[in-house]
Structure 1
Amino acid sequence: MSALEWLLLTYKVPAEPARKRVSIWRKLKGMGAVYLQGGVCVLPKTDDHLRRLKVLENEIAEAEGEALLLATVGLDQKQQEKIIARFNADRDDEYKEFIEKCIAFEAEIAEETRVQHFTFAELEENEQELTKFKTWIAKIQKLDFYTAERAREAQERLTRSEEILDAYAHNVFAAQEENRPTEGAKS
């Protein structure tokens, strides 16, 4: 494995107002940054990350804080692997939560099927939930810089959820067809 470069940001901001400190933390987490310790984080070195960290550096200065932005590499293969493991652990935590929500989604559809609650309203609600799952996994994948262990499992779980919803949709349409009056039937 060739040496990977990272961007290292160290920063301090005043404790008050807390909203500024929290805003900076959220932006860094939203970029997929890994904290090595309080106020010290790393991201893979990319032009996009560099640009975004430069903007954040200005925001830290406006909050009357201090920031130092450096490009760095691990001293050896073991150090590099430790950093990658930290990135992957963060993504695996997110994938785990995603998988748990998919399992709950599938259980809900199984219950709706068991009680034969086949309505268009329920189908629409479940389709909206699946759309949220697709957006959610895309966000996680965007920050999965080193292909975390649970990435494949999460994608497979999403596919399974889609298949289960498709089967439920088939049942909804079949049930609605059964409830339609046939031609020539008297009202």
Structure 2
Amino acid sequence: MDKWILLTHQIAQDAPNLRVKVWRNLKKRGAVLFKNAVYLLPYTKEHEESMQWICKQIRDSGSDASLFITESMDKKHKEEIIKTFQEACNKEYVPCIDQCSDVLKQIEQIEGTEGVTDRSVEDLKRKLSEIVKSADEIAKIDFFHAPQRDEFLEKIESIRKRIEKWSKKMKEEAPVVNTVYQKKAFLGKKWVTRKDIYIDRLASAWLIRRFIDPNAKFVFISKGENNLPKNAIPFDMYGAEFTHHGDACTLETLIKAFDLKDHALRPIAEIVHDIDLKDNKYNRKESEGIAQIITGLSKKLNNDNKLLEKGMEIFDALYHYYTTKTKGGN
């Protein structure tokens, strides 16, 4: 493209609102300030009409504006103009790229904490949609394919692939919540989960030892470690059978998978759910206090085995409380 529309204006000093309004209109249409002298747009009939409208707006407000149609003097001049457009769009893409990077970090965090749920997938889809919508507006004025656009598209594709992988994995794992497992097949086992246990893994370990496998042994592995102990049963880990399913945390999955009917487990599961998923689904008033206790112990002990030992006492106490309450005791 060698043909361009140029706009120059002299807006009165006492009209700052008009100056801002004109700048926003020019920016919205993709016009760039070339050599701090004139605003440029590639020539199209549509662009010409838009610039004429802006000129009229300036003049009607008592200031001055002029519009010119010209051509590039030579190849070097054309390349310089195109580079100006690309640099302007590069700056516009940067926030979108940063948002994509934040989403990818969030994905890593969710995978690292095994918190993949229908809710988290939908949340990421919504964020992706918002980012793409913003980028679509930039694409409308990216007349010369700014280099940052490629980086942005790569990140978008990466996010889409991860979401698709999650969705597929969750569909494959969905039957577990409809399967009832026999406790006798899980006696005397070694159970494995990630290090730095928190509420869901802690509560799940308590449930396993108290209701499924009294002699269960627990192993904690580092994030990203794929070599699980031989014959160990993973829980609250991405890709495991006993982990998050739909909007259920791992504790809820275990209760359903082993068909545990004890009524005292329900309020405990609701507390753990609210703390772990932070969605306030059950609005349990106890959640904040329990979360503070577990967080404090975790920081104080800084050791998974010691935290597990203390956690067993906490959940034993909770279970005793709700058992007594269920039976109508004081």
**SS state at 2:245 partner:** helix
2:29 alignment partner, one of 28, 31, 41: 31
* Distance across 1 between alignment mates of 2:147 and 2:80: 15
**Distance in 1 between the 2:49 and 2:65 partners?**
15
CA distance in 2, matches of 1:37, 1:108: 41
Instruction: Indicate the residue corresponding to 1:163 in structure 2.
Output: 161
| 1:126-156 deviation digits (Å, cap 9, x = unpaired) | 2111001211221222111112223222212
Q: Structure 2-normalised TM-score?
A: 0.51
SS state of the match for residue 176, structure 1?
A: coil
Question: AA paired with 1:166?
Answer: E
Alignment-derived partner of residue 21 in structure 1: 19
Give identity over the alignment, percent.
23
The one-letter code of the counterpart of 1:130 is L
Structure 1 residue ranges without an equivalent (≥5): none
Find 1:102's aligned residue among 90, 100, 105.
100
Does the 8 Å CA contact 1:10/1:40 hold for their aligned counterparts? yes
Question: Given that residues 118 and 171 in structure 1 are in contact (C-alpha distance below 8 angstroms), is that contact kept between their aligned partners in structure 2?
Answer: no
- How many residues matched? 184
Given candidates 124, 127, 130, the residue that maps to 2:125 is: 127
- What is the CA deviation profile of residues 40-69 of structure 1, one whole-angstrom value per residue up to 9, with x for unaligned ones? 200000111111111111211222211101
Q: Note the aligned Cα RMSD (angstroms).
A: 2.4
How far apart are residue 157 of structure 1 and its match? 1.5
TM-aligned CA deviation for residue 39 of structure 1: 6.0
Q: Which amino acid aligns with 1:33?
A: A
- Among residues 80, 83, 86, which one is paired with 1:85 in the alignment? 83
Larger Rg: 2
Query: Which has the larger displacement, 5-14 or 135-144?
Result: 135-144
CA contact (8 A) 1:123 1:172 kept: no
Structure number with the bigger relative contact order (C-alpha 8 A, sep ≥ 6) is 1
2:166 & 2:133 partners in 1: Cα distance? 21
**Are residue 118 (structure 1) and residue 187 (structure 2) matched?**
no
Do the aligned residues in 2 keep the contact of 1:109 with 1:168 (CA within 8 Å)?
A: no
